[in-house]
Amino acid sequence: MHTKYTDSAPRWFDRLCLKIIDSVFRPMSLGSLVMILPDGHRLNYGKGHEIEAVIHIHDMRFFRRCVLFGSVGFGEAYVDGDWSTADITDVIRWMLLNHENHPTIATDRDKKSPVNWVGMINKCYGWFRQNTLRGSRRNIADHYDLNNDFFRLWLDPTMTYSAAYFQDPQQTLEEAQFAKYEVLCRKLQLRPTDHVLEIGTGWGGFAEHAAKHYGCRVTTVTISKEQYKYAKERIFRAGLTGKVDVQLKDYRHLTGSYDKVASIEMIEAVGHKYLKEYFATIHRVLKKDGLVAIQMILFPDHRYEIARRNTDWIQKHIFPGSLLPSVRSVQQAINATGTLNLHHYEDMTPSYAKTLKIWYHLFNKQIARVKKLGMDDRFVRKWNFYLCYCEAAFKMRHISVVQAVYSRPNNLNLNDPLEFALSDKDQAFIGQL
């Protein structure tokens, strides 16, 4: 955080920064934002009704943090209690709505902006969180090794921490997570004779589903010690130790050969520098007629190069070392390392926005228990900002989530992609779980 530096700023600098932020927000005409200052004075931006948001400023240092550190400072100011709102998602959505035509306080732009004066500090932070073998373990531990009990409080019973697959407004989160696993298994055309590799275990949900419902063998790897421990116990309780092998291993150390490869929202932790190595590993261990299914969060191509040269709030405070790939960066890495071809591609972005909204409400129902685990109010604000930040980004299509299936050429065992869809009978079965 930058509080020591910014707290020492004189009042005249606060007033200057207020004027700068006012000049940045003033041209934003889409939707509306009301900013209420500590003295009760109201600043109004935009007259539209597409998105309406209100923020309360509690400390004038909010403005200098935005000017000095852009969107990273904006998020840090919320976490420190410098501002509040009844709806974080709508505040972020309003900024994203105006993002393309005006500089806002975003730090992922090439256009000149009057904010983010010392953003190089955050950029340097990203340089020190590279995904080397040691760096990856540290980066993953910072988030996923928080506490299994913490995640258990607000994730659904499947302990799944990735986008669910909603096809029916009446589906519960648990049903939609089951549907996600089921669709991925179908896209992989799983058979009892298959040996499946999963890169990124999570808490073991996919491995258990594939082994239990399709009878295949699964080798799943993770570098999170907490997830490894949980997944091992989970597989033991499910009576699947003869089917599922959970390993504490970096994907770069994989050996052997596999009929199918699955990876659910792990590629975001790879980073630009290691993207080719990730796909080279998959190509190396995949059998000739094998299939690969990857669920991944994507930046749009036109923002990828800008994003990879900067460090945003999520990368600094939630997922250090991470970088969302783009369609082009993924395809370039695939083309440079092997002969995989795209077989099937499905966008499921609205499902992630809904997943995050549900997570937000489940998390906030458990605040008292979260605090009993030793987390303070600042931690709660950080996680609320994170969940709403992501929900807004998916809702506004500034990022997307897809499932992509790859195969080598001349694979005669491929099914028609239309066979992947869940039937009404399937949906009824899931609803009975």
Q: Give per-residue pLDDT as tens, 254-289.
A: 999 999 999 999 999 999 999 999 999 999 999 999
Q: In the chain, pLDDT over 70 holds for what percent of residues?
A: 84
- pLDDT digit string, tens, across residues 131-140: 676 667 676 7
Q: Which of 66, 185, 216, 390 is catalytic?
A: 390
Q: Which helix (H) or strand (E) is 337 found in, with range?
A: helix 327-337
Angstrom distances, CA of residue 364 to CA of 203, 317, 351, 367, 424? 22, 19, 20, 5, 33
∠ CA(210), CA(231), CA(406), 5° rounding?
40
pLDDT at 126: 56
List every span in the chain annotated with CATH 3.30.1050: 3-118
Once rounded to an integer, what is the mean pLDDT over residues 340-363?
A: 98
- pLDDT digit string, tens, across residues 203-224: 999 999 999 999 999 999 999 9
Order of strands across the sheet that contains 400-407: 244-248, 217-222, 195-199, 258-264, 286-298, 400-407, 341-347
pLDDT confidence tier of residue 250, bands split at 50, 70 and 90: very high
Q: Which residues of 341-378 are buried (b: 16+ CB within 10 A; e: fewer)?
A: eebbebebbebbbbbbbbbbeebeeebeebeeeebeee
- pLDDT digit string, tens, across residues 78-102: 999 999 999 999 999 999 999 876 6
- pLDDT digit string, tens, across residues 371-415: 999 999 999 999 999 999 999 999 999 999 999 999 999 998 888
pLDDT at 2: 45
What end-to-end distance do the CA atoms of the chain give, in Å? 45
- pLDDT digit string, tens, across residues 15-32: 999 999 999 899 899 999
- pLDDT digit string, tens, across residues 34-80: 999 999 999 999 999 999 999 999 999 999 999 998 899 999 999 99
Strands 195-199 and 217-222: parallel
CA distance 360 to 44: 28
Asked if 337 contacts 279 with a C-beta cutoff of 8 angstroms, the reply is: yes
Which is nearest to 350 in space by CA: 105, 171, 199, 210? 171
Asked if 390 contacts 418 with a C-beta cutoff of 8 angstroms, the reply is: no
Residue 174 has pLDDT above 70, yes or no: yes
pLDDT at 424: 61
Among 3.40.50.150, 3.10.180.10, 3.40.50.80, 3.30.1330.50, what is the CATH number of 133-431?
A: 3.40.50.150
For residue 326, the 8-state DSSP code is B
Q: Residue with structure tokens 């002969």?
A: 339
Residue 292 has pLDDT above 60, yes or no: yes
Q: Residue with structure tokens 């970096």?
A: 250
For residue 166, the 8-state DSSP code is -
Q: Residue with structure tokens 């000739």?
A: 288
Q: Residue with structure tokens 């995904």?
A: 131
Overall pTM > 0.85: yes
Active site residue 390: yes
CATH topology of domain 3-118: Nonspecific Lipid-transfer Protein; Chain A (3.30.1050)
Looking from the CA of 377 toward its CB, the CA atoms found within 13 Å total 3
Once rounded to an integer, what is the mean pLDDT over residues 167-183?
A: 96
pLDDT confidence tier of residue 320, bands split at 50, 70 and 90: confident
Q: What is the mean pLDDT of the chain?
A: 90
Quote helix, strand, coil % in the chain, to nearest 5. 50, 15, 35
